[in-house]
Amino acid sequence: MSDTTLIFTSIGSIVLLLFLVMKVRLHAVVALILVAMLAGLCAGMDPAQIAKTIEKGMGGTLGFVAVVVALGAMFGKVMEATGALDQIAYTLLEHFGERRANWAIAITGFICALPLFFDVAVVLLIGLVFAIVRRKGGSMVKIGIALLAGIASCQAFLIPAPGPILVASQLHANFGYMILFGLLAGIPAMILGGPIFGSLIDKVVKVDLPEHAKLDSKGREGEGTPTFGLALGLVVLPLLLIGLKTIVSRFVDPQSSMHAWLAFIGHPFTAILVACLAAFYLLGIRRKMPASRVMELCNEAIQPAGVIILVTGAGGVFKQVLIDSGVGGALGHILAGSGLPVVLLAFVLAGAVRVIQGSATVAMLTTCGLILPMIEPLGLSGAQLSLVTIAIGGGSIILSHVNDSGFWLANRFLGMSEKQTLQTWTVMETIIGTSGALVAMALSLFVH
Protein backbone atom coordinates (compact mmCIF):
# COMPACT_ATOMS: atom_id res chain seq x y z
CA MET A 1 0.00 0.00 0.00
CA SER A 2 1.33 3.45 -0.90
CA ASP A 3 2.56 5.93 1.69
CA THR A 4 -0.14 8.45 0.70
CA THR A 5 -2.91 5.87 1.14
CA LEU A 6 -1.60 4.94 4.60
CA ILE A 7 -1.57 8.57 5.71
CA PHE A 8 -5.08 9.27 4.39
CA THR A 9 -6.30 6.10 6.11
CA SER A 10 -4.90 7.25 9.44
CA ILE A 11 -6.35 10.76 9.04
CA GLY A 12 -9.76 9.31 8.15
CA SER A 13 -9.71 7.03 11.18
CA ILE A 14 -8.96 9.99 13.47
CA VAL A 15 -11.87 11.97 11.99
CA LEU A 16 -14.19 8.96 12.42
CA LEU A 17 -13.06 8.51 16.00
CA LEU A 18 -13.77 12.15 16.85
CA PHE A 19 -17.22 11.83 15.23
CA LEU A 20 -18.13 8.67 17.16
CA VAL A 21 -16.97 10.05 20.50
CA MET A 22 -18.22 13.63 20.23
CA LYS A 23 -21.34 13.36 18.05
CA VAL A 24 -22.61 9.79 18.34
CA ARG A 25 -21.55 9.78 22.03
CA LEU A 26 -20.27 6.23 21.75
CA HIS A 27 -18.22 5.24 24.80
CA ALA A 28 -14.56 6.03 24.26
CA VAL A 29 -13.40 2.44 24.90
CA VAL A 30 -15.80 0.98 22.31
CA ALA A 31 -15.08 3.73 19.77
CA LEU A 32 -11.30 3.42 20.07
CA ILE A 33 -11.27 -0.36 19.59
CA LEU A 34 -13.83 -0.24 16.73
CA VAL A 35 -11.92 2.45 14.82
CA ALA A 36 -8.63 0.65 15.46
CA MET A 37 -10.06 -2.46 13.75
CA LEU A 38 -11.37 -0.45 10.79
CA ALA A 39 -8.06 1.43 10.44
CA GLY A 40 -6.15 -1.85 10.39
CA LEU A 41 -8.39 -3.31 7.70
CA CYS A 42 -8.23 -0.15 5.55
CA ALA A 43 -4.42 -0.08 5.89
CA GLY A 44 -4.23 -3.59 4.45
CA MET A 45 -3.22 -5.42 7.65
CA ASP A 46 -3.87 -9.15 7.90
CA PRO A 47 -7.18 -9.55 9.82
CA ALA A 48 -5.59 -12.15 12.10
CA GLN A 49 -2.73 -9.74 12.80
CA ILE A 50 -5.18 -6.98 13.80
CA ALA A 51 -6.41 -9.05 16.73
CA LYS A 52 -2.82 -9.64 17.88
CA THR A 53 -2.05 -5.93 17.49
CA ILE A 54 -5.07 -5.03 19.64
CA GLU A 55 -3.85 -7.41 22.33
CA LYS A 56 -0.34 -6.00 22.06
CA GLY A 57 -1.55 -2.38 22.25
CA MET A 58 -3.82 -2.98 25.24
CA GLY A 59 -1.26 -5.09 27.09
CA GLY A 60 1.67 -2.84 26.30
CA THR A 61 -0.17 0.23 27.54
CA LEU A 62 -1.83 -1.30 30.61
CA GLY A 63 1.28 -3.19 31.65
CA PHE A 64 2.60 0.16 32.87
CA VAL A 65 -0.41 2.45 33.17
CA ALA A 66 -2.67 0.08 35.13
CA VAL A 67 -0.18 -0.40 37.95
CA VAL A 68 0.80 3.27 38.11
CA VAL A 69 -2.76 4.62 38.01
CA ALA A 70 -4.10 2.06 40.51
CA LEU A 71 -1.32 2.59 43.07
CA GLY A 72 -1.32 6.34 42.48
CA ALA A 73 -5.09 6.53 42.99
CA MET A 74 -4.85 4.73 46.33
CA PHE A 75 -1.96 6.94 47.44
CA GLY A 76 -3.87 10.06 46.43
CA LYS A 77 -7.08 8.95 48.14
CA VAL A 78 -5.38 8.41 51.51
CA MET A 79 -3.51 11.72 51.15
CA GLU A 80 -6.79 13.43 50.30
CA ALA A 81 -9.01 11.85 52.98
CA THR A 82 -6.56 12.61 55.78
CA GLY A 83 -6.07 16.25 54.76
CA ALA A 84 -2.41 15.85 53.72
CA LEU A 85 -2.96 17.24 50.24
CA ASP A 86 -5.03 20.11 51.59
CA GLN A 87 -2.17 20.96 53.94
CA ILE A 88 0.19 21.30 50.96
CA ALA A 89 -2.40 23.34 49.07
CA TYR A 90 -2.95 25.71 52.01
CA THR A 91 0.80 26.27 52.39
CA LEU A 92 1.23 27.00 48.68
CA LEU A 93 -1.66 29.46 48.79
CA GLU A 94 -0.23 31.18 51.88
CA HIS A 95 3.12 31.75 50.18
CA PHE A 96 1.96 32.57 46.65
CA GLY A 97 -1.50 33.94 47.41
CA GLU A 98 -4.73 32.60 45.96
CA ARG A 99 -4.44 34.78 42.86
CA ARG A 100 -1.09 33.17 41.98
CA ALA A 101 -1.98 29.59 42.88
CA ASN A 102 -1.80 28.59 39.19
CA TRP A 103 1.81 29.82 39.02
CA ALA A 104 2.68 27.81 42.12
CA ILE A 105 1.19 24.60 40.79
CA ALA A 106 2.77 25.07 37.33
CA ILE A 107 6.24 25.43 38.87
CA THR A 108 5.56 22.41 41.10
CA GLY A 109 4.70 20.29 38.06
CA PHE A 110 7.70 21.58 36.09
CA ILE A 111 10.16 20.61 38.82
CA CYS A 112 8.59 17.43 40.17
CA ALA A 113 8.09 15.82 36.74
CA LEU A 114 11.83 15.76 35.96
CA PRO A 115 12.53 12.11 36.84
CA LEU A 116 9.05 10.79 35.96
CA PHE A 117 7.00 9.52 33.06
CA PHE A 118 4.10 11.84 32.21
CA ASP A 119 1.41 9.46 33.49
CA VAL A 120 3.24 8.98 36.79
CA ALA A 121 3.66 12.72 37.35
CA VAL A 122 -0.02 13.40 36.68
CA VAL A 123 -1.18 10.64 39.02
CA LEU A 124 1.12 11.76 41.83
CA LEU A 125 0.36 15.50 41.59
CA ILE A 126 -3.27 15.76 40.43
CA GLY A 127 -4.47 15.58 44.03
CA LEU A 128 -2.87 18.98 44.66
CA VAL A 129 -5.17 20.47 42.02
CA PHE A 130 -8.22 19.00 43.73
CA ALA A 131 -7.04 20.31 47.10
CA ILE A 132 -6.45 23.86 45.80
CA VAL A 133 -9.84 23.92 44.07
CA ARG A 134 -11.56 22.68 47.24
CA ARG A 135 -9.87 25.52 49.10
CA LYS A 136 -10.72 28.21 46.53
CA GLY A 137 -13.86 26.85 44.87
CA GLY A 138 -14.73 27.50 41.23
CA SER A 139 -13.44 25.97 38.01
CA MET A 140 -10.84 23.25 37.66
CA VAL A 141 -9.49 24.62 34.39
CA LYS A 142 -7.18 27.39 35.59
CA ILE A 143 -5.38 25.25 38.18
CA GLY A 144 -5.55 21.94 36.30
CA ILE A 145 -4.15 23.31 33.04
CA ALA A 146 -1.35 25.06 34.96
CA LEU A 147 -0.22 21.76 36.52
CA LEU A 148 -0.47 19.85 33.24
CA ALA A 149 1.48 22.59 31.45
CA GLY A 150 4.28 22.40 33.99
CA ILE A 151 4.50 18.62 33.62
CA ALA A 152 4.20 18.66 29.81
CA SER A 153 6.89 21.35 29.38
CA CYS A 154 9.30 19.41 31.54
CA GLN A 155 8.58 16.14 29.73
CA ALA A 156 9.07 17.68 26.30
CA PHE A 157 12.30 19.63 26.78
CA LEU A 158 14.22 18.81 29.96
CA ILE A 159 16.61 16.04 30.91
CA PRO A 160 16.53 13.71 32.81
CA ALA A 161 12.85 13.44 31.77
CA PRO A 162 12.60 10.05 29.98
CA GLY A 163 11.70 11.15 26.42
CA PRO A 164 14.27 13.93 25.94
CA ILE A 165 17.10 11.96 27.49
CA LEU A 166 16.41 8.94 25.24
CA VAL A 167 16.43 11.11 22.11
CA ALA A 168 19.46 13.12 23.25
CA SER A 169 21.36 9.87 23.86
CA GLN A 170 20.52 8.44 20.44
CA LEU A 171 21.38 11.67 18.60
CA HIS A 172 24.56 12.12 20.69
CA ALA A 173 23.46 15.60 21.72
CA ASN A 174 25.50 17.50 24.32
CA PHE A 175 23.78 17.04 27.72
CA GLY A 176 25.10 20.35 29.04
CA TYR A 177 23.55 22.25 26.14
CA MET A 178 20.40 20.15 26.54
CA ILE A 179 19.94 21.48 30.06
CA LEU A 180 20.54 25.08 28.98
CA PHE A 181 18.41 24.95 25.82
CA GLY A 182 15.75 22.89 27.59
CA LEU A 183 15.31 25.60 30.20
CA LEU A 184 15.30 28.35 27.56
CA ALA A 185 12.56 26.51 25.66
CA GLY A 186 10.66 24.97 28.56
CA ILE A 187 10.18 27.92 30.90
CA PRO A 188 8.53 30.28 28.36
CA ALA A 189 6.47 27.34 27.04
CA MET A 190 5.25 26.52 30.54
CA ILE A 191 4.31 30.15 31.23
CA LEU A 192 2.44 30.58 27.93
CA GLY A 193 0.67 27.22 28.02
CA GLY A 194 -0.03 27.16 31.76
CA PRO A 195 -0.75 30.28 33.82
CA ILE A 196 -1.40 32.57 30.81
CA PHE A 197 -3.47 30.26 28.58
CA GLY A 198 -5.15 28.64 31.60
CA SER A 199 -6.36 32.01 32.84
CA LEU A 200 -7.73 32.89 29.40
CA ILE A 201 -9.49 29.58 28.66
CA ASP A 202 -10.94 29.52 32.17
CA LYS A 203 -13.24 32.34 31.03
CA VAL A 204 -14.59 30.13 28.24
CA VAL A 205 -14.59 26.60 29.68
CA LYS A 206 -16.09 26.04 33.12
CA VAL A 207 -15.50 22.73 34.89
CA ASP A 208 -16.54 21.92 38.44
CA LEU A 209 -14.61 19.75 40.86
CA PRO A 210 -15.23 16.09 39.85
CA GLU A 211 -17.40 14.05 42.20
CA HIS A 212 -14.58 11.62 42.94
CA ALA A 213 -12.42 14.53 44.20
CA LYS A 214 -14.96 15.91 46.64
CA LEU A 215 -14.59 15.18 50.33
CA ASP A 216 -17.55 13.39 51.87
CA SER A 217 -19.43 14.53 54.95
CA LYS A 218 -17.12 12.63 57.29
CA GLY A 219 -14.47 15.32 56.86
CA ARG A 220 -10.86 14.61 57.73
CA GLU A 221 -10.05 11.11 58.87
CA GLY A 222 -7.56 10.10 61.53
CA GLU A 223 -6.40 12.01 64.60
CA GLY A 224 -4.98 15.50 64.12
CA THR A 225 -3.90 17.25 60.93
CA PRO A 226 -0.79 16.05 59.07
CA THR A 227 2.03 18.58 59.11
CA PHE A 228 3.18 20.25 55.90
CA GLY A 229 6.57 18.54 56.23
CA LEU A 230 5.00 15.06 56.44
CA ALA A 231 2.58 15.72 53.59
CA LEU A 232 5.27 17.15 51.31
CA GLY A 233 7.69 14.39 52.27
CA LEU A 234 5.22 11.71 51.16
CA VAL A 235 4.72 13.40 47.78
CA VAL A 236 8.47 13.86 47.29
CA LEU A 237 9.38 10.31 48.43
CA PRO A 238 8.59 8.54 45.11
CA LEU A 239 10.18 11.42 43.20
CA LEU A 240 13.41 10.95 45.15
CA LEU A 241 13.43 7.20 44.62
CA ILE A 242 12.90 7.55 40.86
CA GLY A 243 15.38 10.43 40.66
CA LEU A 244 17.97 8.35 42.54
CA LYS A 245 17.71 5.67 39.89
CA THR A 246 17.71 8.15 37.00
CA ILE A 247 20.74 10.16 38.12
CA VAL A 248 22.90 7.98 40.38
CA SER A 249 22.69 4.87 38.17
CA ARG A 250 24.54 6.76 35.43
CA PHE A 251 27.65 6.77 37.62
CA VAL A 252 27.46 3.07 38.51
CA ASP A 253 28.66 0.09 36.48
CA PRO A 254 25.60 -1.14 34.50
CA GLN A 255 26.65 -4.75 35.21
CA SER A 256 26.92 -4.29 38.97
CA SER A 257 24.39 -5.44 41.56
CA MET A 258 24.13 -1.84 42.82
CA HIS A 259 22.87 -0.75 39.38
CA ALA A 260 20.30 -3.55 39.44
CA TRP A 261 19.08 -2.51 42.90
CA LEU A 262 18.87 1.14 41.86
CA ALA A 263 16.82 0.12 38.82
CA PHE A 264 14.48 -1.85 41.09
CA ILE A 265 14.13 0.76 43.83
CA GLY A 266 13.72 3.61 41.35
CA HIS A 267 11.18 1.93 39.11
CA PRO A 268 7.80 3.76 39.28
CA PHE A 269 6.09 0.57 40.48
CA THR A 270 8.40 0.27 43.48
CA ALA A 271 8.53 4.00 44.20
CA ILE A 272 4.76 4.48 44.27
CA LEU A 273 4.26 1.26 46.24
CA VAL A 274 6.68 2.50 48.89
CA ALA A 275 4.84 5.84 48.98
CA CYS A 276 1.52 4.00 49.38
CA LEU A 277 2.79 1.90 52.28
CA ALA A 278 4.31 4.98 53.96
CA ALA A 279 1.01 6.87 53.57
CA PHE A 280 -1.02 3.92 54.89
CA TYR A 281 1.09 3.83 58.05
CA LEU A 282 2.04 7.48 58.71
CA LEU A 283 -1.33 8.99 57.77
CA GLY A 284 -3.53 6.05 58.69
CA ILE A 285 -2.40 3.49 61.25
CA ARG A 286 -0.14 5.87 63.18
CA ARG A 287 -2.99 8.40 63.42
CA LYS A 288 -5.41 5.79 64.85
CA MET A 289 -7.27 5.08 61.60
CA PRO A 290 -8.40 1.43 61.51
CA ALA A 291 -6.63 -0.69 58.92
CA SER A 292 -10.03 -1.70 57.56
CA ARG A 293 -10.83 1.97 56.86
CA VAL A 294 -7.52 2.44 55.04
CA MET A 295 -8.44 -0.47 52.78
CA GLU A 296 -11.94 0.98 52.24
CA LEU A 297 -10.32 4.18 51.00
CA CYS A 298 -8.20 2.12 48.59
CA ASN A 299 -11.31 0.40 47.24
CA GLU A 300 -13.03 3.77 46.78
CA ALA A 301 -10.00 5.02 44.82
CA ILE A 302 -9.94 2.05 42.45
CA GLN A 303 -13.47 2.65 41.09
CA PRO A 304 -12.83 5.94 39.20
CA ALA A 305 -9.30 4.74 38.39
CA GLY A 306 -10.74 1.73 36.56
CA VAL A 307 -12.38 3.93 33.92
CA ILE A 308 -9.16 5.87 33.39
CA ILE A 309 -7.21 2.63 32.99
CA LEU A 310 -9.61 1.13 30.43
CA VAL A 311 -9.86 4.28 28.29
CA THR A 312 -6.08 4.70 28.33
CA GLY A 313 -5.64 1.06 27.32
CA ALA A 314 -8.07 1.45 24.43
CA GLY A 315 -6.09 4.49 23.29
CA GLY A 316 -3.04 2.25 23.30
CA VAL A 317 -4.86 -0.17 21.00
CA PHE A 318 -5.54 2.55 18.42
CA LYS A 319 -1.97 3.80 18.64
CA GLN A 320 -0.53 0.30 18.14
CA VAL A 321 -2.63 -0.36 15.04
CA LEU A 322 -1.39 2.88 13.47
CA ILE A 323 2.21 2.01 14.35
CA ASP A 324 2.04 -1.54 12.97
CA SER A 325 0.34 -0.35 9.78
CA GLY A 326 3.55 1.52 8.83
CA VAL A 327 2.33 5.10 9.05
CA GLY A 328 5.53 6.37 10.71
CA GLY A 329 7.71 5.10 7.90
CA ALA A 330 5.34 6.56 5.31
CA LEU A 331 5.63 10.01 6.88
CA GLY A 332 9.39 9.79 6.95
CA HIS A 333 9.59 8.98 3.25
CA ILE A 334 7.38 11.94 2.31
CA LEU A 335 9.05 14.53 4.54
CA ALA A 336 12.64 13.42 3.96
CA GLY A 337 12.73 15.08 0.55
CA SER A 338 11.04 18.31 1.63
CA GLY A 339 14.26 20.37 1.82
CA LEU A 340 13.26 21.96 5.17
CA PRO A 341 15.94 23.20 7.63
CA VAL A 342 16.86 20.32 9.92
CA VAL A 343 15.42 21.81 13.14
CA LEU A 344 12.14 22.70 11.42
CA LEU A 345 12.06 19.27 9.74
CA ALA A 346 12.50 17.59 13.14
CA PHE A 347 9.56 19.55 14.55
CA VAL A 348 7.25 18.89 11.57
CA LEU A 349 8.11 15.19 11.39
CA ALA A 350 7.62 14.67 15.14
CA GLY A 351 4.33 16.60 14.99
CA ALA A 352 3.03 14.50 12.11
CA VAL A 353 3.94 11.24 13.83
CA ARG A 354 2.40 12.53 17.05
CA VAL A 355 -0.93 13.42 15.45
CA ILE A 356 -1.25 10.05 13.75
CA GLN A 357 0.20 7.72 16.40
CA GLY A 358 -0.72 9.51 19.63
CA SER A 359 2.10 8.75 22.07
CA ALA A 360 4.62 11.56 22.63
CA THR A 361 7.36 9.05 23.52
CA VAL A 362 6.66 7.00 20.39
CA ALA A 363 6.68 10.19 18.30
CA MET A 364 10.05 11.19 19.79
CA LEU A 365 11.69 7.82 19.22
CA THR A 366 10.12 7.28 15.78
CA THR A 367 11.29 10.71 14.64
CA CYS A 368 14.73 10.05 16.05
CA GLY A 369 15.01 6.87 13.97
CA LEU A 370 13.74 8.60 10.84
CA ILE A 371 15.92 11.70 11.10
CA LEU A 372 19.22 10.07 12.12
CA PRO A 373 20.11 8.97 8.57
CA MET A 374 19.31 12.49 7.31
CA ILE A 375 21.55 14.36 9.77
CA GLU A 376 24.55 11.99 9.97
CA PRO A 377 26.17 13.41 6.79
CA LEU A 378 25.73 17.00 8.06
CA GLY A 379 28.32 16.73 10.85
CA LEU A 380 26.23 18.72 13.35
CA SER A 381 27.82 19.77 16.65
CA GLY A 382 26.59 18.58 20.04
CA ALA A 383 24.90 21.95 20.59
CA GLN A 384 23.09 21.79 17.23
CA LEU A 385 21.97 18.23 17.95
CA SER A 386 20.59 19.48 21.28
CA LEU A 387 18.40 21.94 19.36
CA VAL A 388 17.21 19.13 17.07
CA THR A 389 16.27 17.20 20.23
CA ILE A 390 14.35 20.20 21.58
CA ALA A 391 12.47 20.53 18.26
CA ILE A 392 11.58 16.84 18.31
CA GLY A 393 10.28 17.25 21.86
CA GLY A 394 8.12 20.19 20.81
CA GLY A 395 6.65 18.40 17.80
CA SER A 396 5.96 15.28 19.84
CA ILE A 397 3.37 16.97 22.06
CA ILE A 398 1.40 19.21 19.68
CA LEU A 399 -2.25 18.60 18.74
CA SER A 400 -2.91 15.87 21.30
CA HIS A 401 -6.30 14.28 20.68
CA VAL A 402 -8.27 11.06 21.17
CA ASN A 403 -5.44 8.64 20.28
CA ASP A 404 -3.21 9.99 23.07
CA SER A 405 -3.36 8.52 26.58
CA GLY A 406 -2.55 11.97 28.01
CA PHE A 407 -5.76 13.32 26.42
CA TRP A 408 -7.82 10.79 28.35
CA LEU A 409 -5.93 11.29 31.60
CA ALA A 410 -6.70 15.02 31.42
CA ASN A 411 -10.27 14.29 30.33
CA ARG A 412 -11.06 11.90 33.18
CA PHE A 413 -9.06 13.42 36.02
CA LEU A 414 -10.36 16.94 35.40
CA GLY A 415 -13.91 15.77 34.66
CA MET A 416 -14.17 17.40 31.21
CA SER A 417 -16.11 16.47 28.09
CA GLU A 418 -14.20 15.55 24.93
CA LYS A 419 -14.95 18.99 23.44
CA GLN A 420 -13.68 20.75 26.58
CA THR A 421 -10.54 18.59 26.54
CA LEU A 422 -9.83 19.65 22.95
CA GLN A 423 -10.39 23.31 23.91
CA THR A 424 -8.06 23.14 26.91
CA TRP A 425 -5.59 20.25 26.90
CA THR A 426 -5.09 20.07 23.13
CA VAL A 427 -4.53 23.80 22.72
CA MET A 428 -2.25 23.90 25.77
CA GLU A 429 -0.06 21.09 24.39
CA THR A 430 0.13 22.82 21.01
CA ILE A 431 1.14 26.14 22.58
CA ILE A 432 3.88 24.45 24.61
CA GLY A 433 5.24 22.36 21.74
CA THR A 434 5.19 25.17 19.20
CA SER A 435 6.68 27.86 21.44
CA GLY A 436 9.47 25.55 22.62
CA ALA A 437 10.30 24.56 19.06
CA LEU A 438 10.30 28.20 17.95
CA VAL A 439 12.92 28.93 20.61
CA ALA A 440 15.02 26.04 19.23
CA MET A 441 14.66 27.35 15.68
CA ALA A 442 15.68 30.86 16.75
CA LEU A 443 18.71 29.53 18.63
CA SER A 444 19.72 27.42 15.62
CA LEU A 445 20.41 30.65 13.71
CA PHE A 446 23.22 31.48 16.14
CA VAL A 447 24.51 28.07 17.36
CA HIS A 448 27.14 26.33 15.27
The residue ranking higher by pLDDT, 238 or 216, is: 238
- State how far the Cα of 82 lies from the Cα of 280, in Å rounded to an integer: 10
Please report the pLDDT score of residue 8 as a whole number. 80
Average pLDDT over residues 418-437: 93
Which long-range CB contacts under 8 A does 273-280 form with residues at least 24 apart? 273/71, 274/237, 274/238, 274/241, 275/75, 275/124, 275/234, 275/237, 275/238, 276/71, 276/74, 276/75, 276/78, 278/234, 278/237, 279/75, 279/78, 279/79, 279/84, 279/234, 280/78
- 217 falls in which pLDDT band (50, 70, 90)? very low
- State how far the Cα of 286 lies from the Cα of 376, in Å rounded to an integer: 59
Please report the pLDDT score of residue 148 as a whole number. 93
Please report the pLDDT score of residue 221 as a whole number. 59
- C-alpha distances (whole Å) from 393 to each of 247, 253, 383 are 21, 29, 15
In this predicted structure, the answer to whether residue 67 has a pLDDT above a threshold of 50 is yes
Task: Give the residue extent of every domain in the chain.
Answer: 6-444
CB atoms within 10 A of CB 415: 17
Q: Is 438 exposed, middle or buried (0-12, 13-18, 19+ CB in 10 A)?
A: middle
- State how far the Cα of 246 lies from the Cα of 120, in Å rounded to an integer: 15
Average pLDDT over residues 162-185: 81
Nearest to 320 by CA among 115, 61, 140: 61
Interval 134-150: pLDDT, tens: 776 657 888 899 999 99
Amino acid at 172: H
Please report the pLDDT score of residue 220 as a whole number. 57
CB atoms within 10 A of CB 270: 16
Residues contacting 223, CB < 8 A, separation 6+ = 287, 288
Average pLDDT over residues 107-121: 74
Average pLDDT value for the chain: 81
Q: Is 302 exposed, middle or buried (0-12, 13-18, 19+ CB in 10 A)?
A: middle
- Report the percent of the chain where pLDDT is more than 70: 85
DSSP, residue by residue, 346-370: HHHHHHHHHHHH--HHHHHHHHHHH
Please report the pLDDT score of residue 137 as a whole number. 62
Residues contacting 425, CB < 8 A, separation 6+ = 145, 148, 400, 406, 407, 410, 411, 416
pTM exceeds 0.75 for this model: no
CB 132 within 8 A of CB 85: no
CB 58 within 8 A of CB 313: yes
- State how far the Cα of 154 lies from the Cα of 149, in Å rounded to an integer: 8
The residue ranking higher by pLDDT, 219 or 190, is: 190
Task: Among 59-63, 351-355, 371-375, 438-442, name the most confident range.
Answer: 438-442
CB 189 within 8 A of CB 432: yes
**SS3 for 397?**
coil
Nearest to 229 by CA among 220, 239, 237, 221: 237
Helix axes 382-395, 175-191, angle to 10 degrees: 30
In this predicted structure, the answer to whether residue 241 has a pLDDT above a threshold of 80 is yes
Interval 8-34: pLDDT, tens: 877 787 778 778 876 787 877 788 789
Interval 225-236: pLDDT, tens: 788 889 888 888
Interval 330-372: pLDDT, tens: 655 666 566 678 889 889 888 887 887 677 777 777 677 667 7
The residue ranking higher by pLDDT, 445 or 120, is: 445
Phi/psi of residue 330, nearest 5 degrees? -60, -45
In this predicted structure, the answer to whether residue 193 has a pLDDT above a threshold of 90 is yes
- Report the percent of the chain where pLDDT is more than 90: 16
- 448 falls in which pLDDT band (50, 70, 90)? confident
- State how far the Cα of 29 lies from the Cα of 132, in Å rounded to an integer: 31
Please report the pLDDT score of residue 438 as a whole number. 95
Average pLDDT over residues 304-317: 70
CB atoms within 10 A of CB 224: 10
- 191 falls in which pLDDT band (50, 70, 90)? very high
In this predicted structure, the answer to whether residue 413 has a pLDDT above a threshold of 90 is no
117: left (phi over 0), alpha (psi -120 to 50) or beta: beta
